[in-house]
Every structure is written in C-alpha cells, then in structure tokens.
Structure 1
Amino acid sequence: MENETGRRRYTSLRRVAQAHQTRAEIADAARRLFVSKGWAATTIRDVAREAGVAVPTVYAAYQNKAGLVWALADAADLAADLPQAIEELESTADPRRHLAAMAAYDRRLFERAGDLITLLREAGRAEPDLADFYLTGRRQVGEHRVQVFSSWPDGTLRAGLDVPTAVDIYAALCNIDVYTTLHIERSWSPDRIERWWGEALARELLSRP
C-alpha cells in the first residue's frame, strides 16, 4: 500500500513537470514566431503547430495571444536578473557605481529580452491592455530611478539638474532603441555599450563624474 501511494505521488509530480515543460515549449514557440513573423501575423494555430501541441492545449495554458505575451514579458525581468541589480545597488553608496549597476541591468535586459520588449510594443498597437502593460512597466522603471537618484546626497547631481530631468536623461540614453542601434547597426559589443552607458550617465548626471 505504501509503495502504491508513493507511485501515485510521483505520477502526480511527473504530470506537473510535464505541464510546466509543455507551457515552456509553447512559450518558446510563440517567442520564435512573434519575433520572426510579427505579432499580428501569428495565430494560435501557428503557435500550436510550432510547439507540436493541439490548439486547445495552447488556450488551456495561456488563454490567448495576449496571455502568451504577458507570460513572456514577465520572464524578461527574470532573464535580466533583477535581484543581482538590487544587490549591486544596496552594496554601495557611490552614485557612479549605482549608475554602472543600472546600466548593467539594462544591458542584460536588452541583450536577453530585447526582442520581447520590441514585441510588446508591437502587440500594444493592437491590444490596449498590452499597451497599458508596456507603459506601466516604463513608468515603474522611471519610479525606480527616482528612488535611486533621490537617495543621493545634495550636490550629487550636476548643477541645475533636478531628479525628474535626470530620469529623463537616463531614459534618453539607455533604451532598447539606442541598444539596437549600437549593437546591430554599429556592431558594438554589449560590453562596450554597458561601459559607454556608465561613463555617459556619470558625465551627464553627476557633478563630479
């Protein structure tokens, strides 16, 4: 009887693992198709065919295309290792190192999930909820930068620069479009982009870069 109970328990665990694997395979297939074909041209049937599953399986896992994009977007911060960025910010009081840590996080985000960010912007043109999701994410990023910049002592920012303007300058320098231009069009390595961002941010924002 005990062995039978154990077998049932492990059978249940295997089913859970298989369900997670199926969801991951569907998400991977969706990401490939969304990036290669575009959001509008990709159908749930396309995703199911690419993942090798039935159409109802995709609906059961993610409900619809918007649900797939939401799941992919949630994975973006995990890919960029947000906990590492927080640890780096908390380990020092040096504004220059804060900027370097923030630039490193942005580099990881755009390097590992830049296609998802571009996809989310595209999908937002057809799905108001996804457009709101994208804009909310951008606002949250701005709020995080406000928190960091506001923690610095008076006189840290360049003369005449307030925190909101500093956040605007950061957003103008460090974004997916700048990353794509430098990496794809100008053949800069991600390391070079990260270094340049850190130096440029210190030069533009700090009173003593």
Structure 2
Amino acid sequence: MTEGPGRRRYDSLRRTAQAQQTRADIARAALRLFVSHGWTATTVRDVAREAGVSVPTVYAAYGNKSGLTRALADAADLSADVPQQVAELEAAATDPARQLAAMAGYDRRLYERAGEIITLVREAGRSEPELATLYRDSRVRGDQTRVQVFSAWPPGVLRPGVDVPSAVDVYAALCNIDVYNELTAERGWSPDRVERWWCGALARELLN
C-alpha cells in the first residue's frame, strides 16, 4: 500500500525527528557533564563515554567541542518530544486548527520542561556570540516548521490578508518564552491554561 500525500508531506519532519533521536543521548550526556564538571573540564571523549557512543559519532553530530553547545538547544527540543509533534501534525493533516494545537502543545512542553535552558542560552548569548547563534538558529528551526505546515494548507484557510510569513510572525508573537513566563510565573496561569489560550488565540488570528 502506498503512502498518501498527507503522510509524505511530513517525511522531512519525520527524518528530522529521527536524527534528533540519534543525537539525544549525546545532548543529554553533554548537558549532564557541563553541569557537573564544567565546560573546560569536559572533553569530547568524556561526552562519548557518558552517552555510550563512539567519539566519531559525537564529531558527526556536533562537529567539535564548541559545537557541543548545541547540545543545550537539542536537549531542550528533545524534552518537548519532537516525534509527538510530527505524529500529531500528520494525524491532523486535513485539520488546520488541530495542527495549530499540535504546535502550541509542543511549545508548551518546550517552555514547561526546558524554559530555564532557553533563558540561559538567550541571556548568555548577549556576551557569547556562539550562544547567540545557537539561540537564533533554534528560533529559525521553529519558524521553518511553521512555514512548512502553513504552506501546505489549501487556499482560503488563512484569514484574508494573512499570508504565510505573516502567519509565522503572529504565531511567534503569541507563543514565545516571554509570554509563557509572564502568564505562568507572574500571573499564576497553569501550563494547561496557557496552551488552551494559545490554541484559541491562534485559531482566531490565523484561520478564516
């Protein structure tokens, strides 16, 4: 039986999820060692041993020790469960509202489970160019997912006057770490309430 077009549409997202799973042990091992031993004392060989992989596998995944800073971002992404997002997007291929909910759910998990890492990387990036690039690249990856999803919708799904780039901008303005922290830490909202509000707000702002 051949796969339908809805499933094939998300092949690239599935491949990304599989690649991230391959890097998962390395990312988590690097994070553990950076926290327990510090950046200077941690070697690529240490990370490989901790992750249970070969040294060449670490180099293939991250390039070099400096590249291991990307493990911070990968650890955050993995904690939010990229495969779950891909599965939910595929299951809702003909339902834009459910796809928005899948993306909002991913961001809720990301900020709930890894918000401190994201904030740390962003703040450190003000003085460390490598971490600034890391933070910017992670934002770009998120935008690319939204572009792929919104671009797959048939004409007439987005509200009149809202094109794909504008939809990505609106999404980013609503579903970000600062909004999440403001609502949960400052205003006492539960993560569930934030996610429900995001789903409704996104549907109102983006869907026709």
- Alpha-carbon distance between aligned partners in 2 of 1:67 and 1:152, rounded to the nearest angstrom: 36
Aligned amino acid, residue 199 of structure 1: G
Q: Is the 8 A contact 1:69 1:120 kept in 2?
A: no
Provide Cα deviations, 1:25-69, integer angstroms capped at 9, x if missing partner.
x734755xxxxxxxxxxxxxxx538xxxxx74x2453687x6664
Question: Following TM superposition, by how much is the alpha carbon of 1:71 offset from its aligned partner in structure 2, in angstroms?
Answer: 2.0
- Alpha-carbon distance between aligned partners in 2 of 1:169 and 1:27, rounded to the nearest angstrom: 32
> Which residue of the partner structure matches residue 76 of structure 1?
76
Question: Following TM superposition, by how much is the alpha carbon of 1:130 offset from its aligned partner in structure 2, in angstroms?
Answer: 1.6
- Alpha-carbon distance between aligned partners in 1 of 2:149 and 2:91, rounded to the nearest angstrom: 13
> Which residue of the partner structure matches residue 7 of structure 2?
none
Number of residue pairs aligned between Structure 1 and Structure 2: 164
> Which residue of the partner structure matches residue 120 of structure 1?
121
Aligned amino acid, residue 89 of structure 1: L
SS class of match (1:192): helix
- Alpha-carbon distance between aligned partners in 1 of 2:137 and 2:173, rounded to the nearest angstrom: 18
The yes-or-no answer on 1:48 pairing with 2:48 is no
Identity level (%): 60
The yes-or-no answer on 1:89 pairing with 2:78 is no
- Alpha-carbon distance between aligned partners in 2 of 1:171 and 1:100, rounded to the nearest angstrom: 14
- Alpha-carbon distance between aligned partners in 2 of 1:120 and 1:159, rounded to the nearest angstrom: 37
- Alpha-carbon distance between aligned partners in 1 of 2:99 and 2:170, rounded to the nearest angstrom: 15
- Alpha-carbon distance between aligned partners in 2 of 1:152 and 1:109, rounded to the nearest angstrom: 25
Structure possessing the higher radius of gyration over alpha carbons:
1
Q: Is the 8 A contact 2:80 2:109 kept in 1?
A: yes
Provide Cα deviations, 1:82-138, integer angstroms capped at 9, x if missing partner.
000000000121000000000000000000001111011112122212211211221
- Alpha-carbon distance between aligned partners in 1 of 2:201 and 2:141, rounded to the nearest angstrom: 23
Q: Is the 8 A contact 1:103 1:197 kept in 2?
A: yes
Aligned amino acid, residue 80 of structure 2: A
Q: Normalising by structure 2, report the TM-score.
A: 0.71
RMSD: 2.4
Unaligned runs of 5+ in 1: 1-19, 32-46, 50-54
> Which residue of the partner structure matches residue 39 of structure 1?
none
- Alpha-carbon distance between aligned partners in 1 of 2:141 and 2:68, rounded to the nearest angstrom: 22
> Which residue of the partner structure matches residue 100 of structure 1?
101
> Which residue of the partner structure matches residue 161 of structure 2?
160
The yes-or-no answer on 1:178 pairing with 2:179 is yes
Q: Is the 8 A contact 1:30 1:68 kept in 2?
A: no
Q: Normalising by structure 1, report the TM-score.
A: 0.71
Q: Is the 8 A contact 2:80 2:113 kept in 1?
A: yes
Aligned amino acid, residue 197 of structure 1: W
Unaligned runs of 5+ in 2: 1-24, 48-63
Aligned amino acid, residue 27 of structure 1: L
SS class of match (2:133): helix
Aligned amino acid, residue 157 of structure 2: T
